Structure 1
Amino acid sequence: MRFRSTTDPTGGPPPGGPGRRRRPARRIAVAAIAAMAMPLTLTTALNGTAQANELNCDVVYTTNDWGSGFTANITINNLGSTAIDGWTLTYDYTGNQQLQQGWNAQWSQSGRTVTASNIDWNRVIPAGGSTGFGGNFSYSGTNEAPTSFRVNGVVCGDEVTAPSIVATPSTVAVAPGSTATFGLRLSNQPEGNVTVSVARSSGDTGVSVSSGTSLTFTPANWNTPQQVTVSAADSASGSAVVTASAPGLEPVNVTVTLLSGATGEYEERFLELHAMVTDPANGYFSEEGIPYHAVETLNVEAPDHGHETTSEAYSYLIWLQAMYGKITGDWGPFNEAWETMERYMIPGTADQPTNSFYNPSSPATYAAEHPEPSYYPSALESNVPVGRDPLAAELSSTYGTNEIYGMHWLQDVDNVYGFGNAPGAPCAGGPETEGPSFINTFQRGSQESVWETVPHPSCEDFSFGGPNGFLDLYVQDDGYAEQWRYTNAPDADARAVQAAFWAKRWAEEQGNGAAVAGTIAKAAQMGDYLRYALFDKYFKRVGNCTNAQTCPAGTGRDSAHYLLSWYYAWGGALDPSAGWAWRIGGSHSHFGYQNPMAAYALSTDPDLIPNSPSARQDWANSLQRQVELYRWLQSREGGIAGGVTNSWEGSYDTPPAGTATFYGMFYDEAPVYRDPPSNQWFGMQAWSMQRVAELYWETGDEMAGEVLDKWVDWVLDEIHIGENGDFSIPSTLSWSGQPDNWNPNNPGPNNGLSVTVTGHNQDVGVTGSLANALLFYAAATGDTAARDAAKGLLDALWEHRDDIGIAVPESRGDYSRFAEEVYVPPGWSGTMPNGDVVEPGSTFLSIRSFYEDDPDWPKVEAYLNGGPEPVFEYHRFWAQADIAMALGTYADLFGDE
């Protein structure tokens, strides 16, 4: 897995997005109602002499809830004898419900308090009359109804609890003769037992509910999804609607799309694996619909807990559902995947509140990166020149906002750490907060492995850690301010754009282009902001930077390297009167992060070219530069070496004499992280070259084809495929030498750059990605050896199915590092939200004591006490998606061959 390391100029990690797009009301009727089988009506008759006390009001509040958001419909009934001339309604939520948009009223929200006031045309509510209005909200966890309402300060209700039925997902597809599942739960705790009946209500009669026809939810289990299984007869076709209903509750509908029949074995395999992964009972998703990094919680690699998630996982979900739309014609899950990502992984207005203070002429204060965690905190150096940000003004003008539309990279989905920094919620909700929390880990240079990190919140208000929160572990400053900061992983955003390109292509081939048009527009917007990854970290001039003080500040595109760097980041003050915000790009570019397919889409597809005037040319330049990078980094055997940097060791130092250059930047064998070396893992090869193979198949790019010819020959010699699921692929690589200096007019042969495969394994996700790359290459060239190898790998993977996916045993000797000491500066002391003390001598485990309660902990504990290496079978979400994508690709490109 990958590891991330950044040092931002304010001591925290950076993430982002310019405001979520507003979600329209879901058209499924799901109303929140009282236990007496009638609409939730909160009524209080109040008598008195003052006008306010003469109000006799009745408020009806209902919701259409889809599990991670809802539409609130509100009606004020004037039961009094005189008109209400001008009204303001206020009420409070108990969770993290966040207003997204409203209509027929002037809406606002402060904390958990929501206010709606009249507009001109509905100012007067006559005696005996009423007025209605509504709004869209996002939320995570539970969605309890407000307990009281106030009109012009007068209470209009008594405390009630009103649950609604929530279906996840709201659409399923099933092949004739097969089954599909979805989950049902209640939105909040009922006062008593609620029995939900489930049956087909319309559509093809060949569809039936084979299990889960009657489900009982109690005050104890109301939030635990219960499964419904839908069966389709062999003769079924078209679609059907399955309805879940209960006395006093509005019914919720689930649309069942009947597949016309798979075109062959590999399409059937895709659908089978897709069904396993998306089945709520199998544990890949949170109740909000967020993909976990892995089903298993005890999992330490780039995320340090299995139920964290990454922007990578969200992008894989979008990609997976794009292929599902191609095969089924159902584009609802693709659009919902993007909406889930947008709602939970792109910080909204409340999460990045002070962007208006950002000054593009002074984007950030310089802080050097250092090679070891023990060299931190890193001093802020305001005397080091930084360049101008050439994107900010254009983006603000184009989108009418100063916010960033990009994903943060890391999220604690179940709030295991307890920082409670949920999207749209107050900064530090704490351990009792439910739902996803923005966090970060890597922050202290290239040698900081996951085992040496200190997790910290993205929204730092000093609630946890020491007196300055966690800031003074990373940055040395004269004073520390409460702040928000986020880090973007550009490869994830680029994969989301790549998926959108194919979704558009496939939907248009079906005549369904309009079904995905809204999401495609959002992907174009994401690509606009992704350009921050194409620029040097401090917007310094690209090329021959060997001294932080003398490396010139950039003034425009001279600070662009046009490669997808390891990160871009942004942040600012929590205090709106403090008046500061910052942004940085990235100086280090790993070949494994490049995505020429996304660059191609963003520079050529009319619907994906971003709206900013300079975006198309930026991405055209990036496409050319990325393909050149692959050619420059190709070893004599065929493998692709590490990458390039404009800031040697993260501090614009002078590299060793003779270091090879690429447009004035320096070759780096292991960009960004060294423990383990970032180009040791073969997965970088498979991930990145799959995108090159797509580009070659789509465009016939000559240089991409030359690189692939050599790379595929190298890889095919390292693949072993046997019988009954026996296979192996490269796992670890070692490198020697370096490339020739880059000459775009006459690229060198790189005879001095060599790679050796030092280990093989059965990494199922990498195998899926490798097969996908070989399939696109085979389709582009007619290479039967590549096609047969891909097919053999997919067939071997299929032999490793279990009840919930595809997995093989993994021995985790690195888990000895649970006991490894985490560097904490002398004299520093703080606490994690659960009370774990962070101080010199702390270990990875001691600041994550929750691991000792994990059901798999005894396996690790025995190993730490001298036993054998623990063995796990991990079901990583990205790995299942990579395999499914390869199955779909085989079905698409080769059918039944």
Structure 2
Amino acid sequence: MKFGSTMFRSLAARAARTQKFASTLVLGPAALLVMAACVPIEPTGTGAVSPGGPTGPAGAAGQPAVAAQDEVKPPPAPPAAPEPPVKNTGNVYTDHFLELWTDIHKLSNGYFSPEGIPYHAVETLLVEAPDQGHETTSEAYSYWMWLEAMYGRVTKDWSHLDRAWANAEYYIIPSLADQPTIKGYSPRKAATYAPEGDLPQDYPVALDSRIPIGVDPIGEELKTTYGPAPIYGMHWLLDVDNFYGFGKRGDGKSRGAYINTFQRGPEESVWEAIPQPSWDAFVGGGPNGFLDIFQKGTGFAKQWKYTNAPDADARAVQAMYWAKKWADEQGGNTSVDANTEKAAKMGDYLRYSLFDKYFKVIPCKSPSCAAASDYSSAHYLLSWYYAWGGAAPGSGGWSWRIGSSHNHSGYQNPLAAHVLAQFAPLRPKSPKAAGDWATSARRQIEFYRWLQSAEGGIAGGATNSWKGRYDAPPADAKTFYGMAYQSAPVFSDPPSNDWFGFQVWSVQRVAEYYYVTGDAGAKVILDKWVAWVKANTKLKPDGTYEIPSSLQWTGQPSLDWNDQTQNFNGSDKTFNAGLHVKVTSTTPDVGTTAGLVHTLTFYAAKANDKDTQKLAKELLDRMWAKFRDPKGLSNIETRKDYKRFNDALHLPTGWKGKMPNGDVIENGSTFASIRSKYKQDPDWAKVEAYLKGGPAPTFTYHRFWAQTHIALAYATYGWLFP
């Protein structure tokens, strides 16, 4: 399961498994993005227990009916080539933003589908967290919202932000029709326990109804607030072009299909993952669809299941905070007001990410540890995912929900937590929500500080479920509110925190939080982090530059951190003196550079740091001069990891099935053999030549998240340093 020499992370690094790439570039995450580390797939029938019983509890009497979502009309097709009303603003960085905005929105450049869905990338032959370039992620949608918020600030045109939200509601936020048995959910029977394995070979795993599951502490509150409504959150991954042929709700043909990939433990790379539909109607796969690849049992039920990448939903909230502020400065906008309310609702449901996976007490060091009946299951951090699912029509009335026990520094967003707590237009309607987010905002800042290395970089994270099965952590593991330190939460091959991109993504939010609040604790973290980054950034005489790419971690935090034991003394050199980070490779990658510039810009503006401002400007100028192309900014990548197209897949002994197009899935199948449509891709020839012994292929990719973050970096500098 080893990868090449350096790496890329994507979302769903947001719910996802990312891999180490061979090029010298570090590219992005996607949600992450996101994978549900063995989301409980609930069968019904012999030997299986569904969370709400055979039919599930009925919805509460007196709650408002929810309209059938199939009645909603799709959003209009996007304009072919929209142009900003003004292109020369008098600020070169704002003008660069408008140029890039125009490039991204020109349909012939390929960033959007005919339906207006943002692709993960312009290019189709691309394997990272999304395993095909014309999938998309909640990460991409949240970046789109962020981009259009800034466009509204610059142009006073908020229609494109409204378009982004309308598209998200139709395509990536599952409707009631996509979660039809949601009313069968009982907070007292949230899910059935399933342990996580270490390797793909450890799957399928068995559900174990003997393990106590805690009470979902926000389920009843959400039901009281919104009625028996569907969960309002983005699923992390869409097959936009229906590359795999699953379609929507098992129809085999609809575009914009909900899919999932990663399910089998911390060592499952994208090359070993098996794509499956989020609505498993046994169309494709074996007699039980794809369910019995992951879970043991009999009498499997057709079902739906979705996974949320919390960092993406939090980014959408972050974007709407600025949209509302800027629109109000312009006199107000009704569409922004309406979409801000939607973001607040999204933030209400996003609280599921603040709780342990099975709502167990914290700390938990055994599967038999106590099931929580209240907020004793809350860690208050943005964890790796939350997930939910239920029976398809005709298969019962049950539904389940889980949080996540694994917390990664790269997913935190204290600004989103702060505005959900303190900014009135974004406060969710549920009575406890604002208080939950106020606690979360402070807890996240503490988390960053606890994880800050002696050099300044932010280490991995902490978990309440060691090995994903509530094992006892090592006796000497330092803890954060009882949760054990992990240098690489969620996935370990490659280590999840060795990508510098997670540093800039996450610390950018700290810098933005500092800019908004002036929080002294955030400044302590930023002062040290910025100094570390500046010491490891090189501006070369030839006009190029290098920033960190891959990181190596040793040691652990010095404190068992809790509400009584903390350290925000920035001059205390003994704090975390044994926790170290080393930069092992560097890169000029444009997406990561944009994240770094964005971070430095907010910090420099608030701290009045002229030297940091100068570095941000230098990176922007050099990036534009060296990497501008007709579709945006990009680097050339050498993809030695594409030798893994021929990697064999692990399947349960005797398991055999088919993809919807007829590709056979069995032991001996490969990544490529179950994705035979890749052989029709215009870039396949150079991959095929590589697999036959030729040179490693090179690509110039235009990832949506990277292009939008680049645009935002220019716009933010133009805004804060006019």
TM-score by length of structure 1 reads 0.72
Matched residue, 2:342 = 522
Are positions 1:753 and 2:572 aligned together?
A: no
Contact kept? 1:376, 1:475, Cα under 8 Å: yes
Residues 726-785 of structure 1, C-alpha deviations (whole Å, 9 max, x = no match)? 111111001111111233544270111100000011221111011000000100111122
Are positions 1:9 and 2:40 aligned together?
A: yes
Question: Please, which of 454, 463, 474 is the counterpart of residue 283 of structure 2?
Answer: 463
Contact kept? 2:302, 2:395, Cα under 8 Å: no
Q: Which amino acid aligns with 1:734?
A: Q
Question: Please, which of 647, 653, 659 is the counterpart of residue 826 of structure 1?
Answer: 653
Matched residue, 1:160 = none
Matched residue, 1:137 = 72
Give the Cα–Cα distance (whole angstroms) in 2 for the partners of residues 393 and 791 of structure 1.
50
1 or 2 for the larger relative contact order (CA 8 Å, sep ≥6)?
2
Matched residue, 2:703 = 876
Give the Cα–Cα distance (whole angstroms) in 2 for the partners of residues 724 and 354 of structure 1.
61
SS of the equivalent of 1:676 reads coil
Residues 499-554 of structure 1, C-alpha deviations (whole Å, 9 max, x = no match)? 000101111111124341000000000000000000000000111x11101x1101
Give the drift of 1:11.
6.1
Are positions 1:611 and 2:438 aligned together?
A: no
Give the drift of 1:361.
0.4
Matched residue, 2:556 = 738
Contact kept? 2:353, 2:382, Cα under 8 Å: yes
Contact kept? 2:87, 2:98, Cα under 8 Å: no
* Identity across the alignment (%): 55
Give the drift of 1:579.
2.3
Contact kept? 2:267, 2:491, Cα under 8 Å: yes
Matched residue, 2:597 = 771
Matched residue, 1:148 = none
Give the Cα–Cα distance (whole angstroms) in 2 for the partners of residues 169 and 698 of structure 1.
35
Are positions 1:485 and 2:305 aligned together?
A: yes
Matched residue, 1:169 = 79
Question: Please, which of 198, 211, 220 is the counterpart of residue 371 of structure 1?
Answer: 198
Are positions 1:688 and 2:500 aligned together?
A: no
SS of the equivalent of 1:759 reads strand
Give the Cα–Cα distance (whole angstroms) in 2 for the partners of residues 819 and 785 of structure 1.
49
- Alignment map for 1:279-290 (pairs within 5 Å): 279-290=106-117
Q: Which amino acid aligns with 2:124?
A: T
Question: Please, which of 347, 367, 370 is the counterpart of residue 548 of structure 1?
Answer: 367
Give the Cα–Cα distance (whole angstroms) in 2 for the partners of residues 401 and 495 of structure 1.
26
Would the alpha carbon gap of residues 279 and 582 (structure 1) be closer, same or farther in structure 2, given more than 3 Å must change? same
Give the drift of 1:411.
0.3
Matched residue, 1:538 = 358
Residues 259-284 of structure 1, C-alpha deviations (whole Å, 9 max, x = no match)? 39514100000000110011111000
Matched residue, 2:178 = 351
Are positions 1:623 and 2:533 aligned together?
A: no
- Please list every run of 5 or more consecutive structure 1 residues that lacks an aligned counterpart in the other structure: 13-105, 112-135, 141-165, 171-180, 183-229, 231-256, 422-426
- Alignment map for 1:644-655 (pairs within 5 Å): 644-655=462-473
Contact kept? 1:520, 1:608, Cα under 8 Å: yes
Q: Which has the larger radius of gyration?
A: 1
Q: Which amino acid aligns with 2:552?
A: S
Question: Please, which of 128, 135, 141 is the counterpart of residue 314 of structure 1?
Answer: 141
Matched residue, 1:788 = 614
SS of the equivalent of 2:188 reads coil
Matched residue, 1:99 = none
Question: Please, which of 694, 704, 713 is the counterpart of residue 886 of structure 1?
Answer: 713
Matched residue, 1:304 = 131
Are positions 1:408 and 2:231 aligned together?
A: no
SS of the equivalent of 2:619 reads helix
Q: Which amino acid aligns with 2:115?
A: E
Give the Cα–Cα distance (whole angstroms) in 1 for the partners of residues 205 and 639 of structure 2.
33
Following TM superposition, where does structure 1 have runs of at least 4 consecutive aligned residues deviating by more than 6 angstroms? 106-111
SS of the equivalent of 2:628 reads coil
Greater share of strand: 1
Greater share of helix: 2
Are positions 1:714 and 2:540 aligned together?
A: no
Q: Which amino acid aligns with 1:298?
A: L
Are positions 1:494 and 2:525 aligned together?
A: no
Give the Cα–Cα distance (whole angstroms) in 2 for the partners of residues 780 and 168 of structure 1.
38
Higher mean C-alpha deviation, range 393-402 or range 692-701: 393-402
Residues 185-234 of structure 1, C-alpha deviations (whole Å, 9 max, x = no match)? xxxxxxxxxxxxxxxxxxxxxxxxxxxxxxxxxxxxxxxxxxxxx7xxxx
Give the drift of 1:788.
1.1
SS of the equivalent of 2:222 reads helix
Question: Please, which of 611, 627, 638 is the counterpart of residue 811 of structure 1?
Answer: 638
Give the drift of 1:577.
6.3
Would the alpha carbon gap of residues 329 and 847 (structure 1) be closer, same or farther in structure 2, given more than 3 Å must change? same
Give the drift of 1:107.
13
Q: Which amino acid aligns with 2:284?
A: F
Would the alpha carbon gap of residues 817 and 260 (structure 1) be closer, same or farther in structure 2, given more than 3 Å must change? closer
Give the drift of 1:860.
1.1
Question: Please, which of 382, 396, 407 is the counterpart of residue 564 of structure 1?
Answer: 382
Contact kept? 1:725, 1:795, Cα under 8 Å: no
Q: Which amino acid aligns with 1:9?
A: P
Contact kept? 2:301, 2:395, Cα under 8 Å: no
Would the alpha carbon gap of residues 529 and 261 (structure 1) be closer, same or farther in structure 2, given more than 3 Å must change? same
- Please list every run of 5 or more consecutive structure 2 residues that lacks an aligned counterpart in the other structure: 1-8, 18-33, 44-64, 568-573
> How many aligned residue pairs are there?
661
Contact kept? 1:353, 1:576, Cα under 8 Å: no
TM-score by length of structure 2 reads 0.89
Contact kept? 2:272, 2:650, Cα under 8 Å: yes
